[in-house]
A and B are shown apart, each in its own frame.
Chain A
Amino acid sequence: MSETGIGKSVKRREDLRFITGRGRYTDDINRPNQAFAVFLRSPYPRARIVSVDPSGANEIEGIIGVFTGKDLAADKLGDLPCGWLVKSKDGSDMKVGPHPPLAVETVNYVGEPYGVVIAETLAAARDGAEVVVTEFEELEAVVALDRATKSAQIHANVPNNLCYEWALGDADATNAAFAKAAHVTKLEISNNRLIPNAMEPRAAVASYDAASQEFDLVTTSQNPHLERLILSAFVQLAPEHKLRIVAPDVGGGFGSKIFVYPEETAAAWASRRIGRPVKWTAERSESFLTDAHGRDHLTKAELALDKDGTFLGLRVKTRANLGAYLSTFASSVPTFLYGTLLAGQYRTPAIYVEVEGVYTNTAPVDAYRGAGRPEATYVVERIVETAARELKIDPVELRRRNFIPPDAFPYQTPVALEYDTGNYGASLDKALIKADYTGFAKRRADAERRGRKRGIGFSCYIEACGLAPSQLAIQLGAGVGLYESGEVRVNPTGNVTVFTGSHSHGQGHETTFAQIVSDKLGIPFENVEVVHGDTGRVEFGLGTYGSRSLAVGGSALIKATDKVIAKGKRIAAHMLDASIENVDFAEGAFSVRTSNQKLTFGEVAFAAYVPSNYPSTEEPGLSEKAFYDPKNFTFPAGTHIAEVEVDPETGAVEVVSFVAVDDFGHVINPMIVEGQVHGGIAQGIGQALMEHGVYDEAGQLVTGSYMDYCMPRADDLPNFTIDTTVTPCTHNPLGVKGCGEAGAIGAPAAIMNAVTDALGVVDIPMPATPERVWRALYRA
């Protein structure tokens, strides 16, 4: 096997530009004659806009114009849509509050943009924004999630602020399971609001060419084609063929850069309005206020067990905060990406979940790393651990007793999904060894002697990735298909340019995708270039989220590569005067089974472009495209084990060990996969112990900077112990499942199970800050 092939930890080719400062992020790009945008933002969580007086700004030198939501409305720009229609359990459609790109009549969260100042310089635009006088009439704001349905009505068409009441599962069967239960464990838990904080703030550089009527928008997007589709079909900024969107190097996304936001939209519109390029880069404060937040659930869960600890039923009721408006995929996150995962790794025969999606006067909430699946894992793994403690059964044993066994696949869960494969016991076993579970009692006693409380926590998570068969997704309400496109363009000299609809913003696709294509074609890794993130170069794409890039995007490339090989065989058969059935392709060469004749891949590629000795039935050229539509979700799963020590004096929690054993199916680049797991775990530990997006009672975001929102730093985290087990995905050509979100999905429950174990309490809300831990310790 080549040193750069599938399964090898090839060093990333992206790195050379990043470590030498030659990356090219949106804010690094400037256009001649560009102007700068600064947005006018609501200081109130809910208010009517009475008037906007720009006269002060217009007196400042360098101001080009002050525009408001009314100007965009006058240009007939449409609302920012939500791309997933969720139906309530009574069959009615979800209720969508209108979401203009810039607010027109009312503002509904602190930071919501209602206008934009465009100026010659950033400083002038800032000065201008300072002196625009806006009169607001403050309205009663809806902030507390638990009271949101009994508060003032935010959107005229949404009674009780209730977007939907969604349900999944068999209520009767679940109630019957509880009726015959020997034990019922009940848990009321919350899943804290998170603010994504990709290190690169959102940005846009928009240019409009009046002669060709073409837009060129460079922006921080995880899915430029989807953004183009929405901006043309829904917002009606420009027809699709007149709109090019480029997402160059993007400094992290974690979901927050999937969505189509007001600012990028308004900057593009403004570039046409003023006839000059317009640049906007968010300040971190703006990221805090307006990047779509994550999580924010309140949940009541009940688990029914028989006398042996066998799970009989799970009943879950969740209220999910959607924020003031439905962001691009907001509706799907607490429903189809949450309720469907409540079976976890277990054979629970009856499950019923109800979810209320609720509007509040806070920033929109949408997908953040894991998106629904961390919330589901948190419910399942916290209640399973709690049940084990109540029944005095070892939490490992209780899980093992209820695992879906390896011979039960494919396994149909009671909540819609069919798991194709898995071996949960194998991951658990390996993790127990890595974590030295048998030595825990001694470590706990040692800690006790040092005056510290030590706890251990487990999380046997599952996730559904590689979303999803398009037909199924569309039946369930998705507004788009969820396939991926790929193109393998063989150049005349035999090197290859690969185009993918996936987008890399840290995941290393330029390396991994080159590995799979070069491996498959038997050509040097260096001979394959990967192009992504440009609607002008890549045919189409759905982008990167939900750990889908390799499973879906990579599969499209395999499909296109297969087509290249098939055509190559036909050309080679002609050139070698052999029948196609007798031509093999291996290690970069076409050979004839019945003789010793051979042609290299390069020779066939050259022949395709200089077709002299060439089959008359073939078109010249060697470039193939493919769309891959997944047949099912993939189901990465694994066991995470955390050990923490609590300092009873201060309430500080130290993560002393974290073991993750994950089953991602086949692994293309182990080094990159480990890195993905590390990063996910850090975000999961951040959620469990540090991070919290907090609005005060008045609706002001009080965690609006790195001084207030506690980001995990190097000295907050331990080294992680990472390993894998492998059950290959059964339905995609690479046998891969996806690894981007596992850490963020599994870690919070593992940490909180460890913290509650150390403290001897049932629950403590995330984040388990020193204050909360200290109070929990001394409550009695």
Chain B
Amino acid sequence: MKVSLTVNGRDHVVDVAANTLLVDLIRSRLGLTGTHVGCDTSQCGACTVHLDGRSVKSCTMLALQAEGAEITTIEGIGTADTLHPMQAAFRECHALQCGFCTPGMIMSAIDLVQSANGTLDERKVREGLEGNICRCTGYHNIVKAVLRAAESM
């Protein structure tokens, strides 16, 4: 079956099986391996991407459900030379260690900041990131980074 979607600004038409997950399309078919798979129960959030501007867990969607959607992955928000403010804040605040949860964490955090309309505080950041698990940082610096990025976004 064919699915047409836009990923990081590029149009794709991909032939997929009906049971192909969106994350598999992103990783295996488009080769965008920045989006990770950390669990099999939609809990860890390592696979988080943006679908039409909102964060979704791409392991919990069929590729076919993304028909006509605009997908943004971690590769689509900034480059090493032109970092997104959230990427820059993660680096600045040492909000990552092994880096595996980081892409999903950043994608969730961007949506969190954008939908908060400037009302974020530490408690709201902690609650807002509840769907993303990090095993390395204890979240301390992630929370700091999100609040810092919120100032410049």
Interface size on B, residues (CB 8 A): 56
The reply to whether A197 and B135 contact each other, CB–CB distance below 8 Å, is yes
> Across the interface, do B126 and A706 meet the contact criterion of CB distance under 8 Å?
no
A298-306, A432-440, A669-677, A769-777 - interface stretch:
A669-677
Q: Which of B50-58, B60-68, B87-95, B113-121 contacts A (4 or more CB under 8 A)?
A: B87-95
Chain B residues with CB below 8 A from A23, complex form: 34, 99-100
Q: Which residue of B lies closest to A15 (CB)?
A: B91
Check B130–A714 contact: CB distance below 8 A: yes
CB interface residues, B 58-113, toward A, < 8 Å: 73-75, 78-80, 83, 87, 90-92, 94, 96-103, 106
| A196 vs chain B, min Cβ distance (A) | 8
* CB of B25 closer than 8 Å to a CB of A: no
- Min CB distance, A386 to chain B, in Å? 28
Q: What are 11 sample pairs from A and B whose C-beta atoms fall under 8 A apart?
A: A15-B90, A19-B83, A21-B75, A197-B135, A506-B98, A674-B94, A679-B135, A681-B138, A705-B40, A707-B41, A714-B127
Is there an interface contact between B80 and A16, defined as CB atoms closer than 8 Å?
yes
Residues A284 and B98 in contact, CB atoms below 8 Å apart? no
In the complex, chain A residues 628-686 whose Cβ is within 8 Å of any chain B Cβ: 671-672, 674-676, 678-683
A715 close to B39 (CB less than 8 A): no
- With contacts A678-B137, A679-B137 taken as known, whether A15 is within 8 angstroms of B96 at the C-beta atoms is yes
Residues of A within 8 A of B101 (CB): 199, 251
Q: Say how far B33's CB is from chain A's closest CB, in angstroms.
A: 4
Nearest opposing residue in chain B for A672, CB measure:
B94
Which chain B residue has the least Cβ–Cβ distance from A706? B43
Chain A residue at minimal CB-CB distance from B83:
A19
Closest to B107 in A: A21
| Complex: A12 Cα to B99 Cα, angstroms | 11
Which listed residue (A674, A705, A713) contacts B133, Cβ 8 A? A713
Q: Does A250 lie within 8 Å of B98, measured CB to CB?
A: yes
The verdict on B150 contacting chain A, using a C-beta distance below 8 Å, is: no
The answer for the CA separation of A570 and B140 in the assembled complex, in Å, is: 49
A171 to B27, CA, bound (A): 60
CB distance from A155 to the nearest CB of B (A): 32
Q: A252-B136, A675-B97 are in contact. List 11 more A-B contacts (CB 8 A).
A: A19-B74, A20-B80, A21-B34, A21-B74, A123-B19, A199-B133, A675-B137, A683-B135, A711-B133, A713-B133, A714-B130
A28 sits at the interface (CB 8 A): yes
Is the CB of B37 closer than 8 A to any CB of chain A? yes
Question: B5 contacts the other chain (Cβ, under 8 Å)?
Answer: no
How far is A14 from B99 in the complex, measured between Cα atoms in Å?
A: 9
Cα A163 to Cα B96 with chains together (Å) = 40
Cβ contact within 8 Å between A28 and B40: no
Given contacts A11-B91, A16-B91, A720-B138, contact A25 B96 (CB under 8 A): no
Q: Could you tell me the distance between the alpha carbons of A19 and B96 in the complex, rounded to whole angstroms?
A: 8
Kindly list chain B residues whose C-beta atoms are within 8 Å of the C-beta of A672: 94
The yes or no answer to A139 lying at the interface (CB within 8 A) is no
B119 to chain A, nearest CB (A): 17
Question: With A25-B36, A284-B39, A671-B94 in contact, do A200 and B100 touch (Cβ < 8 Å)?
Answer: yes
Contact status of A200 and B38, CB under 8 A, knowing A20-B78, A682-B139, A711-B133: yes
- Lowest 5 A-B CB distances belong to which pairs? A21-B34, A251-B100, A18-B99, A682-B138, A506-B98
- Does A713 contact B130, Cβ atoms closer than 8 Å? yes
Complex contacts, A508 vs chain B, CB 8 Å: 97
Residues in A lying within 8 Å of B, measured CB to CB: 11-12, 14-25, 27-28, 123, 197-201, 249-252, 254, 281, 283-285, 505-508, 671-672, 674-676, 678-683, 705-707, 711-715, 717, 719-720, 743
Q: Is B44 an interface residue (CB 8 A)?
A: yes
A715 touches B80 (CB 8 A): no
The SS class assigned to the B binding surface is loop
Q: Taking A200-B38, A714-B130 as contacts, is the C-beta distance between A678 and B140 under 8 angstroms?
A: yes
Chain B interface residues toward A at CB < 8 A: 17, 19, 27, 32-41, 43-44, 46, 73-75, 78-80, 83, 87, 90-92, 94, 96-103, 106, 122-123, 125-127, 129-130, 132-143
Chain B residues, CB < 8 A from A678: 137-141
Q: Nearest chain-B residue to A201 (Cβ)?
A: B38
Among A20, A254, A281, A743, the most chain B Cβ lie within 10 Å of the Cβ of A20
Task: Report Cα–Cα, A706/B59, bound state, in Å.
Answer: 15
Question: How many pairs, one residue from A and one from B, have CB atoms within 8 Å of each other in the complex?
Answer: 183
Give chain B residues whose Cβ lies under 8 Å from the Cβ of A28.
Answer: 27, 33
Q: Which of B91, B98, B102 is within 8 Å of A505, CB to CB?
A: B98
Contact of A714 among B32, B44, B129, B135 (CB under 8 A): B129
With A20-B74, A285-B40, A706-B39: A12-B94 Cβ-Cβ less than 8 Å:
yes
Do residues B73 and A21 form an inter-chain contact, with CB atoms below 8 A? Answer: yes
B88's closest neighbor in chain A, by CB? A19
> Within the assembled complex, what's the spacing in Å between the Cα atoms of A20 and B35?
10
A251→B91 contact, CB < 8 A = no
Determine whether the beta carbon of A715 is less than 8 Å from that of B126: yes
Contacts A21-B73, A23-B34, A197-B135 given; does A706 touch B41 at CB 8 Å? yes
A287 to chain B, nearest CB (A): 9
B126 surroundings in chain A (CB, below 8 A): 714-715, 717
A420 to chain B, nearest CB (A): 29
- Do the beta carbons of A25 and B100 come within 8 Å of each other? yes
Instruction: Specify which chain A residues have a CB less than 8 angstroms from the CB of B142 in the assembled complex.
Output: 714
CB-defined contacts of B97 to chain A, threshold 8 Å: 252, 506-508, 675-676, 679
Known contacts A199-B46, A249-B99: does B133 contact A706 (CB below 8 Å)?
Answer: yes
Please determine whether A21 and B32 come into contact, CB atoms closer than 8 angstroms.
Answer: yes
Report the nearest A residue to B140, measured CB to CB: A678
**Which B residues touch A714, using CB under 8 A?**
125-127, 129-130, 132, 134, 139, 142-143
**Chain A residues near B74 (CB, 8 Å)?**
19-21
Docked pose: A22 CA to B141 CA in angstroms: 21
Q: Is the CB of B91 within 8 A of A12?
A: yes
Q: Say whether A200 contacts B130, CB under 8 Å.
A: no
Residues of B within 8 A of A22 (CB): 34, 75, 80
How near does chain A come to B93, taking the closest CB pair, in angstroms?
Answer: 9
**Which chain A residue has the least Cβ–Cβ distance from B33?**
A28
Is there an interface contact between A715 and B100, defined as CB atoms closer than 8 Å? no
Provide the residues of chain B in CB contact with A285, threshold 8 Å: 40
Which residues of B have CB within 8 Å of A713? 129-130, 132-133, 139
B37 x A27 contact (CB < 8 A):
yes
Bound Cα distance A123, B94 (Å): 38
Closest Cβ–Cβ distance, residue A319 to chain B (whole Å): 28
With a cutoff of 8 Å between Cβ atoms, the chain A residues found around residue B83 in the complex are 19-20
How distant is A680 from chain B, measured CB to nearest CB, in Å? 8
Cβ contact within 8 Å between B137 and A251: no
With A714-B142, A719-B122 as given contacts, are A199 and B44 in contact (CB-CB < 8 Å)? yes
Cβ of B94: which chain A residues have Cβ within 8 Å of it? Answer: 11-12, 671-672, 674-675
Residue with the highest number of chain A CB atoms closer than 10 Å, among B36, B74, B97: B97
Q: Give the most central of A17, A123, A250, A706: most B CB within 10 Å.
A: A706
Most chain B C-beta atoms within 10 Å of own C-beta, residue among A28, A197, A714: A714
Residues of A within 8 A of B36 (CB): 25, 27, 199-200, 251
User: Would you give the shortest CB distance from B42 to chain A, in whole angstroms?
Assistant: 9
A284 neighbours in B (Cβ, 8 Å):
38-41, 44
A507 cross-chain contacts in B, Cβ below 8 A: 97
Residues of A within 8 A of B37 (CB): 27, 201, 281
A659 to B134 Cα, complex, angstroms: 21
Report the separation of the CA atoms of residues A123 and B106 in the bound assembly, to the nearest whole angstrom. 30
Separation of A16 and B123 alpha carbons in the complex (Å): 28
Q: What B residues does A681 contact at CB under 8 A?
A: 138
Which residue of A is nearest B78, CB measured?
A20
Q: How far is the CB of A747 from chain B (nearest CB, A)?
A: 10
**Distance of A24 Cα from B36 Cα, bound (Å):** 11
Residue among A19, A28, A713, A719 with the most chain B CB within 10 A?
A19
A200 and B102 CA atoms in complex are apart in Å by 11
Also in contact, A18 and B41, with CB within 8 A (given A199-B46, A506-B136): no
Inter-chain contacts of A17 with B (CB < 8 A): 80, 99
Complex CA distance for A678 and B40, rounded to whole angstroms: 27
**CB of A713, distance to nearest CB on chain B (Å):** 5
